[in-house]
Structures are given as structure tokens and as C-alpha cells.
Chain A
Amino acid sequence: MLPYLLLVPAVILELLIHIVPMLVGIGISFLKLTQFYIANWRQAPNAGLANYRYALDFNSAAGKQLLHSFFVTIIFTVIVLVVSWTFGMAAAVFTQRPFPGRGIVRTIFLIPYALPVFASVITWNFMLQRDNGAVNHVLVDQLHLAGGDRPFWLIGQNSFYSLVIVEVWRTWPFAFLMLTAGMQSISQDLYEAAGLDGAGVWAQFRGVTLPMLRPVNRVLLLVLFLWTFNDFTTPFTLFGKGAPHQADIISMHIYQNSFVTWNFGTGSAMSVLLLIFLLVVTGGYLRLAKSGSNDA
């Protein structure tokens, strides 16, 4: 009896903090919750599946834009994931063996992760401005790389690359941190044994480091995927209320659809669709990772 009693506070909090808001969100997605009803949202009429039909009608402008935003987000997430993980892994391997100043190097690597998001991303916003930004000053005025033409970084096609760069800059230190922590538990004996068997650095990395980091990587990739896919603060700080079309990440798109146009029903419907997608991906991934580890 006592163990269950001790669990009660946790269960109540879990319900209050996770389950209830989620259910309310799902409930809202079936309501026509527009500005006319927010003051008294229990009166909002039932919308049935209308919000979902609106979001998924790919022949209409709204559906097309949602689909566009979805694909932009997928490409964005994949690039950020691959680059962040590669950077993090390279840096973790680089600082694996002790050398003078290793602590300082590690600290420097972690700075982007330690800075408050708003403060660092607004700095990127200043740096990326066309006329007065540091990026164009270096690229155009100092190095004369752009052929005299000042490129835009915050609007147009380049805005997508700007967002990728800023996001990688923010994310890779986390990959580095996790991988460094994971490497602490790899016994030095394994490397010595591999070395005695004639394995070079690359073979040691493939034969010892990677397999030993498998459990860490499994979690790390999932977490990075979910964080990047859902990230709102970075694009919001970088672009303001409306993201450029080319960098219209799904979280921004949903924000625009619920808060800016005051239609919380469609915003919730899109969120639920996103939730279902993420659940399917996560479930599939965990299944795949599990069967993979059984084979190994």
C-alpha cells in the first residue's frame, strides 16, 4: 500500500502538468474556438472534424502551406541533426585524450549551449542584417566575396540557411556534452587491446567508440530530433512574428495559425497532427533501435 501512496503526488502532478493540458488541447481541436468565444470558451460550438479538414485540404492555400511548412521542417531537422551530431562527435573525440588546456577547450565548446537563447539569437539577428550586420561586413566589405552585391540573410532563400546555421550553433554543444559524458565510461583497456591487435585510430573509432556509445546515441538522436523539430524560440527570435516563407518552420506556422489569427481550433488541430506524426516517428525509431541492439 505504502509504495502506491508515495506515488500519488507524482501521479497527480503528472496528470496536471502533462496529461490534462494535452487532453484539453485535443479537445480544443474539435471546437470552433475563434475570437468570438475566447472570453467564454466553454460556449464554443463543436466543429467536428472541420479543423482537421481545413488543415489537411491540400488543394487549398492553408493545406498547401501546412504541407510546405512540414517539408521545410523535415529538411531543416535532418540537416541540423546530421551536422550537430558530426560536430559534437568530432569535438568529443578530439577532447577524449587529456592534453594541456583541455578543460578550457571544452568550456569554450559549451558556451553556445550555456548562453540564454534570446540573448544569443538576437545577437545573430544583428549580425545577419543586410546593411549593418557583421556577416555582410566581413563577407562583402572585407573579403569582397559576394561580387559587390550584399546578400540578404534574414529574408528570402538565405533565411533558411541562416536558421540552420544558428540552430546548429545552438545544438551541437549538447551533442558534444552527451557524447563526452558517454565516452567517460569506455574503458581505456578496450583501446589498448584494440591497439595491440593493430587497430588504427579510425578502426578504434569504428570498432570501439561507436559501438560503446550506441545507447547514448540512441537517446541523443531522438532528443535532438524532437527538440529541433519543435523548436520555436530560435526562429521566433531570429525572424520575429512571421517567419519568411522559405524558413516557415512548423512551430512558427502553428503559432501564426492560432495566436496571430486567433483561431485556436485550427492551431490545436495542427498541433495534434504534429503530435501524431512525432509519436509515429518516435515509436518507429525506438522499435528499430531496439531490434538493432538485439542483433548486435
Chain B
Amino acid sequence: MRVTRLAALALASLVGVSALSACSSSNSGSGSDKNVTLTYWASNQGTSLDNDKQVLGPELAKFTQQTGIKVKLQVVPWADLLNNILTATTSGKGPDVLNIGNTWSASLQATGAFVPFDDSVMAKIGGKSRFLGGSLSATGAADKPPTAVPIYSLAYGLYYNKKYFAEAGISQPPTTWAEFETDAKKVTNAQHWGLSIEGGSVSENVHNVFTLSQQQGGAFFDAAGKPTFDTPQNVAAVRQYLDFIQQDKITNPSNAEYAQGTEALADFAKGKSAMVLWQAASGSLKQLGMNAADIGVAPMPLPDPMPAGGKKVTSMVAGINLAVFKNTKHMDAALQFVKFMTSTPEQKVLNKTYGSMPSVTDAYADPAFNTPAVQTFKKILSASAAPLPAVAAESQFETLIGTAVKNMLADAASGKNVSESDISAQLKAAQQQLS
């Protein structure tokens, strides 16, 4: 009896409390920005999701202080981000503002899920001319207004271990693939391998094969947007990538298993490999405990002589874009947030912390972006980077080619000989699955 009465009392008090809180929340309701809470999906740029929260937290607080708009931060891991965006697109319920990988721009643009940044919208966030030209090239199809604006810019470079190079008597990083092969063989020994690759990662594979294909004069889509996966140039590019394991034996076959997106870089940082092809990673290498004096970075090598039609491309235009979800109920607040995140002071703070490059020109005045590494990457981005194909089928292309290369690397790693006709057949099969 006593127990029941107690329970009833507890229940009654709970009901009372919730009724009170309902009152208080309904009293303060009004239409001003003060009560707007934006949901922001950030991509994982730091060393962990928590690290991202620590980096972004104070910056979001600054924004709230300036505008009164609250921001609810969710850091989404890369493995889930695209799926989550697709789900949000299908259901129409999602965040207000979100980060996307810039290579998805054209595909996501085709879904119509995001607010297009036409001239009037651009004007609200400070105008198009503030942004770095190269990074604006990866924001959607060329004939449409950008579907997102760049926030962090990145490029691939060849990281090399200066200590290992000196031990092997090499004074300069390789500039041609022939030099690269010679050097890589010199620095491959019982203690460490010449090059580590993230062979199980779909995206790393496709990014590298894309750059190699550009150098061969290849393309995965023709000017009309039709897929051309199995051209001889693309086969040669895949062959070159597989041969790191298959023929040159400068890469540990175990790298074919690396799928976490961090293992090849960790091998490099721990001295298990002498080189790695990676996006700007000074921050991560420091976190992983690599001695800063040992880290060298140079553009990816080029073929010599260049094949007919070959382009002097050493990287894809990599980076992160910021998009506004079309179904947002707080359009103005969302655009204010985009303006804040791409403002010069924020660009300086965020890119400094993440080791990426600002996407707005003014931010480069900061001496922090004058280090040799940043200069190298800036040069790569402005002179020798090409965007991945800006076609609607881009994300399918990444998945299909990346997976095909992953499977071929697995074959090569387990000792099977992958011939050029095998590669051609795999690329053809991938193309047939494109719909």
C-alpha cells in the first residue's frame, strides 16, 4: 500500500515538473534568431570525432555569441556520411548545414537536395570572388550554380622520410616515376618498405588511379559524360598502381588489407614505410608522433617523357565543401553560418588546426600558411590539380573503380598475376554496372 502511494506521489511530481517545463518553453517562444537552433553535420577532419568536437566547439560558441543562433553539432564519420546524406535526402529530414566531400558535389547536386549557390545566394555570404579559384572547380557541374562552397582545401602530395632517404644516399625527392622506382627500391629493406598505400580503401584507390590516369592522358568520362572506363590509358594507370606490389615489390602486400583510411599513414609515421601518397597530413603525422625534421613533402612524380595527351596532373582537387540542406526551416540563419565558417578569421583558425588550406584567398596573408609544406600544397592545388569528373554518376564511379582496384590489389597481394587484359575486363565490368 505504502509503496503504491509512494509511486503515485513520484509520478505526480514528475507530471508536475514536465508541465512546468512545458510552460517555460512555450513562454519564451518567438520568431527571432535568438531561438533558432541549427543542426550542423561536420565531417571528421581531426584525429577523432571527439577531437573535432573540441576544435569546432569554441568556434560555434563564437558564432552563437555574434548572432544569437545556436548550433547543434554532430560529427559524422566518413564511412557513414554519404549514407546519412542519402537518407536525409530521401526522407527530407536532415541537418540545416552540412559538410560534404567535394568529389560528391556533382552527384549530390543531381539529387536536388541542397540550396544552389546562385549569384543572389552567393552575395549573401560575401560573394564568389573571395574563394580560391581551384577549390571552386569542385563544387558541382560546370554549367550549374555551385551546390556547395569550399571550406577546407586539400591536395595529394608525396610524403617522404628524409632520414631514410639520406641513409640511402638520396638527396632529392623523385620527380619522375623512373626516379621514384629507383629510389623506392633503394629505401626498401628488411626494416621498412618503399611506399605504403591504403589498398583496401575504395576512395584512396580511386583518387590515386585518377591522377595516374590523367598523367597517361586518360579519362573515365568523355566530354559528353559517357563512361570510358576501359581505355588503354586507364588500364596503364591501374597497372602502374598494382605494380607497386606486383612488379616493383616496393609496397608490403599486407597493405591490400588496409581499409580504415589511416593505416598507410600510420605505417609512414612509425617508420615502417619511407613514402606515402597522402593529402596534407602534417597535423596527423605530428599526432602520430613522427619527428618533424624527418618529414618531407613533394608533388607526386610525373612520367618522363610524358605520354601522348598526358597531363601534368599530380593530384585531384581534394577538399571539403559546405552545403545548405534545401528543406531547412532557417535559411537565413543557415546562410549566416556558412558566411561565418568561410570568413577569413575562421578559415585561418580552422585550417591551421586541421592542417588543410584555406578556401578563401585573404586567409593566406597569415604567416602560418607560409611553411614550405603549405606552399608545396598550395602550388600543387593551383598548378597541377584536376577535379574528379563533375558528372552525376561520379559517386558511382568512385565506388565501382575503387572497389575493382581493391579486388585487383587483393589478387596481386595474394600472389596472383593480374595482367593488362584482366585489368581491362575488370574495368569493363565496372562500367557495365554504371546505370
B107-A35 in contact (CB<8A):
yes
A155-B257 in contact (CB<8A):
yes
* Complex Cα gap A210–B433 (Å): 48
Nearest CB on B from A148, distance (A): 14
Check if A262 is an interface residue, CB within 8 A of chain B.
yes
Given known pairs A38-B90, A262-B396, A263-B435, the reply for A156 and B202 (CB within 8 Å) is no
The contact string, 1 if C-beta is below 8 Å from chain B, for chain A 56-77, is 0000111011000000000000
The contact string, 1 if C-beta is below 8 Å from chain A, for chain B 109-120, is 011110000000
Closest B residue, CB atoms, query A248: B407
B257-A38 in contact (CB<8A):
no
The contact string, 1 if C-beta is below 8 Å from chain B, for chain A 39-58, is 11100000000000010000
Closest A residue, CB atoms, query B201: A240
B111-A240 in contact (CB<8A):
no
Check if A245 is an interface residue, CB within 8 A of chain B.
yes
* Complex Cα gap A227–B237 (Å): 42
Check if A94 is an interface residue, CB within 8 A of chain B.
no
* Complex Cα gap A257–B407 (Å): 16
Chain A residues within 8 Å of B111, by CB: 35-36, 38-39
The contact string, 1 if C-beta is below 8 Å from chain A, for chain B 390-407, is 001001100110010011
Check if B171 is an interface residue, CB within 8 A of chain A.
no
Q: Scan residues 215-246 of chain A and give those whose CB is less than 8 A from a CB of chain B.
A: 240-242, 244-245
Closest B residue, CB atoms, query A54: B435
The interface stretch among B31-39, B179-187, B211-219, B410-418 is B410-418
B257-A261 in contact (CB<8A):
no
* Complex Cα gap A36–B112 (Å): 8
* Complex Cα gap A54–B435 (Å): 10
Check if A259 is an interface residue, CB within 8 A of chain B.
yes
B435-A39 in contact (CB<8A):
no
Nearest CB on B from A245, distance (A): 5
Check if A95 is an interface residue, CB within 8 A of chain B.
no
Check if A268 is an interface residue, CB within 8 A of chain B.
no
Q: Scan residues 148-172 of chain A and give those whose CB is less than 8 A from a CB of chain B.
A: 150, 152, 154-157
Closest B residue, CB atoms, query A261: B396
Interface residues on B, range: 35 or more
Check if A131 is an interface residue, CB within 8 A of chain B.
yes
* Complex Cα gap A256–B430 (Å): 12
A242-B435 in contact (CB<8A):
no
A245-B92 in contact (CB<8A):
no
Nearest CB on B from A236, distance (A): 11
Check if B259 is an interface residue, CB within 8 A of chain A.
yes
A155-B413 in contact (CB<8A):
yes
Check if B200 is an interface residue, CB within 8 A of chain A.
yes
Q: Scan residues 241-282 of chain B and give those whose CB is less than 8 A from a CB of chain A.
A: 252-254, 256-257, 259
Nearest CB on B from A128, distance (A): 9
* Complex Cα gap A261–B395 (Å): 7
The contact string, 1 if C-beta is below 8 Å from chain A, for chain B 77-91, is 001000100100110
- 20 more contacts with CB within 8 A, not counting A35-B107, A62-B432, A152-B254, are A34-B435, A36-B111, A38-B89, A38-B90, A41-B90, A61-B429, A61-B433, A152-B413, A155-B200, A155-B413, A156-B413, A240-B200, A242-B406, A244-B410, A259-B86, A260-B399, A261-B400, A262-B86, A262-B107, A263-B396
Residues of B bordering A, CB below 8 Å = 79, 83, 86, 89-90, 92, 107, 110-113, 200, 202, 252-254, 256-257, 259, 326, 392, 395-396, 399-400, 403, 406-407, 410-411, 413-414, 416, 428-430, 432-435
Q: Can you list 28 A-B contacts (CB < 8 A)?
A: A35-B107, A38-B89, A38-B90, A38-B111, A39-B89, A54-B435, A60-B432, A61-B428, A61-B430, A61-B433, A130-B253, A130-B254, A150-B254, A152-B254, A152-B414, A154-B257, A155-B256, A155-B414, A156-B410, A156-B413, A244-B407, A244-B410, A245-B407, A259-B86, A261-B435, A262-B107, A262-B396, A263-B396
- 3 tightest A-B contacts by CB? A61-B429, A155-B410, A156-B414
